Structure 1
């Protein structure tokens, strides 16, 4: 794997800066490709769902060129699903912005405070749809050889690619959080105590669901690797994982 694809940085950089950049890089890789590094992207074997050094270590390998589109199709489908979700959320947000609450509504979401949150949500989702559509078009003509020689030929281009692939996911997450804050503020200003209590309970349940979601997303190998770090054992390389997350 090329050095600029690796999550390593000069030792003369401040330690805290290197750690922060490494964490950010790993997060972007997780969202974009389903693994914490580009090792599996470089050595992808779609027949087994794991790496294959013989087939994929050489970007000009005929077998790699033939099978790599299968891998990129999975990434394209993932981005397409996120774009569809963003479009659905956008139409919902626009509906709330352009319609008045029904008479006797328990939540008055036409207040200036809630409107500001909704407009921010609309802007974020629009940018996510634009980015997602652009990425899908790019992936439709993407080849491994072109990606290695052009699209990901430098460290800066690698970061740009990861950001573009991850952007729709983060935008949807931030947009949902923003609109939730706006509606929660409107609900807490309601004169009906049941609405205020319900808003708190709904938010508490929604946030609690993030815990099992994050827990199920952590590969067991990562946990065992943390234990090996604590005991001084040699950790397993990311490319040796046999999961099918990518």
Structure 2
């Protein structure tokens, strides 16, 4: 047999290609899985709500902590319509611009509604301060007590409308980065931001209550019997509404 047709089994043509993936770096499924897990954990940590956004107050003395937590929850409820900032943080860091815009529009709508109510109350209070009662024998709201209430109500209502306009101007120009790093970058700034957003509602609400008390006091000191009885029912109705609202908001 001619030796020229013999092929050595050790030649490169007979060797299979090197395909053992167990010895190839960075190609192991376990390595890829661990790398994806570490990347996702970094994203979760980056978007986790920071400590100063939470209603914890760990730095506050234990005796005052429940009071501060309830106060923070009430301030969040008045300012944003929710008892905490968890959903606001999620929408701000969802990566979807529409989520943040929806939250911004919701806050702007709340401030606009308060401004509308404040404007109506302001016009009514100004009328009561500048005109006399049509029937002073029934309700004389130009007496010293009711008139002082109307002056105070006018002041608080003007303050609420001004705060509402300031809040609308502030909310219309914010961005997620600006809120995270500037407006609400520290615990103190969060308290201030929530107070500024809640100030229109608090001021207009206080003005409404004082205005209402002025009418009640004028009706109570009236010599008309129906006016005396009517002020009792007028006081009972809003108190009942507040009690019912508190009842449905309480946990079962």
Which TM class, normalised by the smaller chain length? 0.7 to 0.9
SS at match of 1:37: coil
> For 1:97-136, what per-residue CA distance to the aligned partner results, in whole angstroms no more than 9, with x for missing partners?
0001114541000011111110100010011001000010
Which one of the candidate residues 10, 17, 26 is aligned to 2:73? 26
CA contact (8 A) 1:32 1:162 kept: yes
Q: Which has the higher contact order (CA 8 A, sep 6+)?
A: 1
CA contact (8 A) 2:137 2:222 kept: no
Once residues 152 and 61 of structure 2 are traced to their aligned partners in structure 1, the CA distance between those partners, rounded to angstroms, is 35
CA contact (8 A) 1:69 1:143 kept: no
- Measured at CA, do residues 141 and 100 of structure 1 come closer, stay the same or move farther in structure 2, by a change above 3 Å? same
The alignment's C-alpha RMSD in Å is 1.7
Which one of the candidate residues 177, 181, 191 is aligned to 2:209? 177
Structure whose alpha-carbon radius of gyration is higher? 2
Answering whether residue 61 of structure 2 is matched by residue 14 of structure 1, we say yes
1:112-123 alignment, distance < 5 Å: 112-123=144-155
**CA apart distance, 1:8:** 1.4
Q: Which residue of 2 aligns with 1:240?
A: none
Number of corresponding residues: 204
TM-score (norm 2): 0.76
1:39-188 alignment, distance < 5 Å: 39-44=86-91, 56=94, 61=95, 63=96, 65-188=97-220
1:231-246 alignment, distance < 5 Å: none
Q: Which residue of 2 aligns with 1:48?
A: none
Once residues 199 and 115 of structure 1 are traced to their aligned partners in structure 2, the CA distance between those partners, rounded to angstroms, is 17
**CA apart distance, 1:206:** 2.0
**Stretches of structure 1 lacking an aligned partner (at least 5 in a row):** 46-54, 225-246
CA contact (8 A) 1:121 1:176 kept: yes
Q: Which residue of 2 aligns with 1:197?
A: 229
